[in-house]
C-alpha cells in the first residue's frame, strides 16, 4: 500500500521547485524601455519619448553577459530578449530580472550564434531575431510549438545588413529596421520570408549606430543613436533624410530598446513649450521646442508656460551689421554645467536655421552678459527669437529635452546706415534685347527676348549686404525657347545666403531657389520664358506683331542677401551680366545641332557684347558661323561688323517688329556697333524708323 502522505509531500516539493516568475508589466506602457550596459552592469531605463527624459528602472538586471534583441510582448506584457550567457531566450517581468527559457533549436538555429537585433511581433505571439549572413529566426511563445526556434527559410542570403535592432509595426505585420553608418537606410522586412526592401535614406552625417528602435500606436518609428542619444522620428510612408532631432535622450556604447507598439506617445502637463508662431516649431505635432519640468533649472525665476518670460533682456535692440547685448538670468543651477542656446529669425522666413544661431552652447552662470553679432543680411522689421536652457549640450531650436526651459520673444531688427544704389535709377528700368539665332546673325530683329530690369544694391559700411533685382518680360519674338539668367561675376555662390533669398513671380512667392549650383553666382529667372508669355488669339509671338498689344507682362522680384557682404569695389559693374540660354531638351536650330550633335541647352548662351560666358557655355561656339569671338583679346559674342547678339538700351526703347532688322529700325546702330570704343552714335536709339518698331 502506497503511503498517501508521502505522495502529497513529494507533490508539494515538486511545486515548490518550479521557478517563481515575476509578474508582468502594466498593460502596454507608454514609456520606452532602454537596456544599457554601463560599467559592465546591465541596467533598465524608462524613456519618455516626448522629451528624452529618462529614469532608472533597474540598477542591475543580473545578466551575466549581454542581454539584447529585446522586444515588448503585448500578448502577455513581458519583455523578451536574447541572453548571450545561455545563448537562449530570456523573459523579463516587473522585477527586471532575466528568467531563462529553454528553447528547442532547429539545425540552422543551432549555428546562428547570439543575436543583438530582435523584437516581438505585434500580430503573433512570436519573438523574431536577425543576424547578418545567418538570416531571420523565430521563437514561438505560445501554442503547440511553444519555445521552438525555427529558421525562416531562404532568409540567410537576404541578410546582408548589420542591424542592431528591429521594430515591429503595430498593425501591418512587417518588421522595420534602420541601418548604421554615415548614410542610414530604412528597411522593411517580411516576417514570413525574410525578404528585405530598402525604403530610402533617413540619416546622413557622422557615423551612427541605431541600437534602439520602436513604434508608437500611430505607426511612427523612433530610432535612437547610441553615440549621442539623439532620437529621430521617422515617417515610414514618406521616407526622407531626418535632420531635426525629435528628442535628446541618453547615449550609450551599448543600447537596446523595446516598447509596446500599440501605446500612444503621451504628453504630460509638466512640459514647457515655446510660444512663437507654429512655423517655428512650438507645438508637439510640429516637433516643437519642449522641456521637461523635472528640475529647478530655469531662465529667470518664472516658468514660461505662464506666458511671462523673464529670463532674457535685450537692452540694446538689434541693428543689422552691428553687435547687440543680451543679458540672461539663470536660476536652479546645481553644480552641473548648463548651456544656453539662442536663435533669431534674421531673414524673417518663419523658421530658425543653422546660420541664425545667435548663442551657441554658452556655459552659463547665474547672470550672463552676451554679445551677439547681428548679420548684415538681417531683414528690417519684427521677427522672433528663441532661447533654450538645458544641461544637454548642442540642442537645436526644436525637439524635446529632459530639463531647463524655452523662452520665445518677438524682437525688432533695424537697419542703420544703409544706403541704396539704383541702376539705372530709382524710377526707371533698363532694357536688354536678344537675337537668339546665335551663332548666325539671322534676321537680326533683336526682339527674340526683351527684358526690362532694375537693380538695387543695399550698402552698409561700404559693403553690399543685399541685392534686389526687378524684371519684367517685355517681348518674345522667337520660335525657339530660351531661358533667362544673370551672372554676378566675381561673386561666389557661397557668398549668397541661399535659404534667405526671397523670390516672387507676379508677386507670388516661390519655394524653389533661383541660385544655380555653379562656382560663380548665377541667378536663373526661368529656363523657358515662353511659360510666362501669354499669347493673344491670332498672334504668333508676344508683343512683337502689329495689333498684338498684350499688356499682361510677367514680373520677377528677387531679394538676394549676402552671407559674406561684398566690398563695393568688388561688385561687378552694372548692368552685371544678363544672358539668355537655350531651353534644355528643346531644338534650337541646325547650327547648334550640327556643331554639338545634340540639343544645346545651357551650353548655348547669348551674352552682351564682350561679356565672357559662364562655365556652362560650350566654347566650341567661338569662331563658329558668324561669331568672331576671341577670348585672348576679351572679344565675345560679336560678328565681323561689330554687331552683337545682345544689347542694352534705355527703358523706353521701342524694339523692332518681328522680322524687321534692328539696323533698319535704327539706322545709326551700324555705326555705333562698328566702333569698339562706343563713341560713335552713342544715342543711336533716338533716331528711329517708327514703321519698323513695336508700339503699345
**Does pLDDT of 12 surpass 70?**
no
**Does pLDDT of 7 surpass 80?**
no
Closest C-alpha among 272, 393, 407 to residue 337:
393
pLDDT of residue 662: 97
> CA torsion sign, 564 to 566 to 567 to 570?
positive
Q: Write down the mean pLDDT value for the chain.
A: 93
Q: Please, what is the Cα angle at 340 between 411 and 398, to 5 degrees?
A: 70
pTM of the predicted structure, to 2 decimals? 0.79
Burial tier of 173 (Cβ tally within 10 Å: 0-12, 13-18, 19+) = middle
Per-residue pLDDT tens for 359-417?
Answer: 999 999 999 999 999 999 999 999 999 999 999 999 999 999 999 999 999 999 998 88
> C-alpha 178: how far from its chain's center?
20
Per-residue pLDDT tens for 531-540?
Answer: 999 898 999 9
pLDDT of residue 427: 86
Contact at 8 Å (CB) between 11 and 89? no
pLDDT of residue 677: 83
CA distance 70 to 115: 10
Q: Mean pLDDT over residues 345-355, rounded?
A: 95
**Does pLDDT of 163 surpass 60?**
yes
Quick count: other Cβ atoms within 10 Å of Cβ 559?
19
Contact at 8 Å (CB) between 635 and 465? no
Q: Please state which of the ranges 9-23, 72-86, 276-290, 495-509 shows the lowest mean pLDDT.
A: 9-23
pLDDT of residue 294: 87
Q: What SS3 state is found at 509?
A: strand
CA distance 489 to 484: 16
Q: Mean pLDDT over residues 213-241, rounded?
A: 95
Q: Mean pLDDT over residues 653-669, rounded?
A: 96
Give the H or E element holding residue 595. Answer: helix 590-596
CA distance 249 to 247: 6
The partner residues of 203 in beta bridges, in order of sequence, read: 184
**Does pLDDT of 14 surpass 60?**
no
pLDDT of residue 308: 62
Order of strands, sheet of 339-344, starting from the edge strand that comes earlier in the sequence: 318-319, 405-414, 381-390, 339-344, 357-363
Q: Mean pLDDT over residues 110-135, rounded?
A: 97
The partner residues of 128 in beta bridges, in order of sequence, read: 119, 138
Residue 202, phi-psi category: left (phi > 0), alpha (psi -120 to 50), beta (remainder): alpha
Q: What is the 3-state secondary structure (H, E, C) of 455-481?
A: EEEEEECCEEEEEEEEEEEEEECCCCC
Per-residue pLDDT tens for 243-272?
Answer: 899 999 888 777 789 999 999 998 988 899
Return the half-sphere exposure (C-beta side, CA atoms, 13 A cut-off) of residue 332.
20
pLDDT of residue 13: 34
Q: Mean pLDDT over residues 282-302, rounded?
A: 92
CA distance 320 to 322: 6
Closest C-alpha among 224, 282, 281, 213 to residue 249:
224
**Does pLDDT of 8 surpass 50?**
no
Cell of 169: 509595426
pLDDT of residue 16: 36
Q: In the structure, what pLDDT confidence band is assigned to residue 20 with cuts at 50, 70 and 90?
A: low
Per cent of the chain over pLDDT 90 is: 86
Contact at 8 Å (CB) between 129 and 69? yes
Cell of 237: 510612408
Per cent of the chain over pLDDT 70 is: 96
pLDDT of residue 651: 77
Ordered structural domains, the chain, with CATH: 23-258 (2.120.10.30), 271-414 (2.60.40.10), 419-662 (no CATH)
Quick count: other Cβ atoms within 10 Å of Cβ 427?
8
pLDDT of residue 5: 36
Phi then psi for residue 46, to 5 deg, are: -105, 130
**Does pLDDT of 15 surpass 60?**
no
pLDDT of residue 1: 37
Q: In the structure, what pLDDT confidence band is assigned to residue 10 with cuts at 50, 70 and 90?
A: very low
Tell me the DSSP string of 556-594: EEEEEEEEEEEEGGGSPPTT-EEEEEEPTTS---HHHHH
Give the H or E element holding residue 291. Answer: strand 290-292
Q: In the structure, what pLDDT confidence band is assigned to residue 179 with cuts at 50, 70 and 90?
A: very high
Amino acid at each position: 500500500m502506497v503511503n498517501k502522505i508521502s505522495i502529497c509531500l513529494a507533490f508539494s516539493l515538486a511545486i515548490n521547485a518550479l521557478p517563481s516568475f515575476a509578474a508582468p508589466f502594466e498593460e502596454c506602457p507608454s514609456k520606452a524601455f532602454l537596456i544599457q550596459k554601463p560599467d559592465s552592469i546591465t541596467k533598465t531605463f524608462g524613456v519618455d519619448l516626448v522629451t528624452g527624459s529618462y529614469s532608472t528602472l533597474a540598477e542591475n538586471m543580473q545578466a551575466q553577459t549581454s542581454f539584447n534583441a529585446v522586444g515588448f510582448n503585448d500578448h502577455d506584457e513581458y519583455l523578451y530578449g536574447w541572453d548571450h550567457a545561455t545563448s537562449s531566450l530570456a523573459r523579463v517581468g516587473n522585477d527586471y530580472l532575466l528568467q531563462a527559457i529553454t528553447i528547442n533549436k532547429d539545425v540552422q538555429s543551432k549555428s546562428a550564434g547570439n543575436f543583438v537585433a530582435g523584437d516581438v511581433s505585434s500580430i503573433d505571439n512570436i519573438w523574431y531575431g536577425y543576424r547578418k549572413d545567418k538570416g531571420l529566426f523565430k521563437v514561438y511563445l505560445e501554442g503547440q510549438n511553444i519555445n521552438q526556434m525555427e529558421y525562416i527559410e531562404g532568409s540567410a542570403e537576404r541578410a546582408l545588413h548589420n542591424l542592431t535592432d528591429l521594430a515591429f509595426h503595430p498593425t501591418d505585420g512587417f518588421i522595420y529596421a534602420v541601418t548604421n553608418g554615415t548614410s542610414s537606410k530604412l528597411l522593411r522586412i517580411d516576417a514570413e520570408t525574410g525578404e528585405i526592401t530598402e525604403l530610402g535614406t533617413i540619416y546622413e552625417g557622422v557615423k551612427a549606430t541605431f541600437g534602439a528602435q520602436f513604434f508608437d500606436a500611430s505607426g511612427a518609428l523612433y530610432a535612437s543613436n547610441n553615440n549621442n542619444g539623439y532620437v529621430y522620428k521617422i515617417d515610414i510612408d514618406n521616407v526622407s533624410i531626418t535632420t531635426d532631432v525629435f528628442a535628446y535622450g541618453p547615449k550609450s556604447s551599448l543600447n537596446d530598446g523595446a516598447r509596446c507598439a500599440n501605446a500612444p506617445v503621451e504628453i504630460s502637463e509638466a512640459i514647457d513649450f515655446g510660444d512663437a508662431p507654429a512655423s517655428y516649431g512650438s507645438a508637439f505635432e510640429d516637433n516643437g521646442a519642449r522641456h521637461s519640468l523635472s528640475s529647478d533649472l530655469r531662465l529667470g525665476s518664472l516658468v514660461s508656460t505662464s506666458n511671462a518670460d523673464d529670463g532674457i533682456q535685450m537692452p540694446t535692440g538689434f541693428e543689422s551689421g552691428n553687435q547687440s547685448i543680451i543679458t540672461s538670468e539663470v536660476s536652479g543651477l546645481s553644480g552641473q554645467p548648463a548651456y544656453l542656446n539662442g536663435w533669431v529669425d534674421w531673414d524673417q522666413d518663419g523658421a530658425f536655421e543653422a546660420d541664425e544661431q545667435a548663442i551657441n552652447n554658452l556655459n552659463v552662470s547665474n547672470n550672463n552678459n552676451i554679445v551677439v553679432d547681428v548679420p548684415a543680411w538681417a531683414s528690417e522689421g519684427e521677427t522672433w527669437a528663441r532661447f533654450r536652457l538645458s544641461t544637454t549640450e548642442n540642442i537645436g531650436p526644436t525637439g524635446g529635452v529632459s530639463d531647463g526651459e524655452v523662452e520665445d520673444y518677438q524682437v525688432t531688427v533695424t537697419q542703420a546706415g544703409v544706403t541704396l544704389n539704383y541702376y539705372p535709377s530709382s524710377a526707371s528700368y533698363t532694357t536688354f534685347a536678344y537675337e537668339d539665332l546665335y551663332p548666325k546673325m539671322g534676321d537680326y530683329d533683336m526682339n527674340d527676348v526683351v527684358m526690362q530690369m532694375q537693380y538695387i544694391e543695399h550698402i552698409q559700411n561700404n559693403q553690399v549686404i543685399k541685392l534686389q533685382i526687378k524684371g519684367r518680360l517685355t517681348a518674345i519674338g522667337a520660335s525657339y525657347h530660351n531661358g533667362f539668367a544673370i551672372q554676378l561675376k566675381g561673386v561666389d555662390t557661397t557668398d549668397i545666403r541661399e535659404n534667405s533669398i526671397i523670390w516672387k513671380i507676379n508677386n507670388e512667392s516661390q519655394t524653389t531657389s533661383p541660385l544655380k549650383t555653379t562656382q560663380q553666382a548665377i541667378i536663373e529667372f526661368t529656363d523657358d520664358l515662353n511659360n510666362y508669355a501669354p499669347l493673344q488669339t491670332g498672334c504668333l509671338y508676344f508683343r512683337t506683331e502689329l495689333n498684338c498689344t498684350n499688356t499682361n507682362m510677367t514680373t520677377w522680384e528677387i531679394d538676394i542677401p549676402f552671407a559674406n557682404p561684398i566690398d563695393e569695389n568688388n561688385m561687378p559693374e552694372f548692368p552685371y551680366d544678363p544672358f539668355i540660354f537655350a531651353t534644355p531638351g528643346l531644338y534650337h536650330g541646325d547650327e547648334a545641332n550640327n556643331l554639338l550633335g545634340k540639343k544645346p541647352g545651357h551650353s548655348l548662351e547669348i551674352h552682351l557684347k564682350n561679356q565672357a560666358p559662364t562655365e556652362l557655355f560650350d566654347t566650341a561656339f567661338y569662331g563658329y558661323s558668324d561669331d568672331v569671338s576671341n577670348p585672348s583679346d576679351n572679344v565675345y559674342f560679336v560678328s565681323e561688323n561689330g554687331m552683337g547678339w545682345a544689347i542694352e538700351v534705355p527703358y523706353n526703347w521701342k524694339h523692332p517688329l518681328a522680322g524687321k532688322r534692328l539696323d533698319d529700325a535704327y539706322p545709326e546702330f551700324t555705326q555705333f556697333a562698328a566702333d569698339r570704343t562706343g563713341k560713335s552714335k552713342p544715342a543711336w536709339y533716338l533716331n528711329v524708323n517708327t514703321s519698323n518698331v513695336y508700339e503699345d
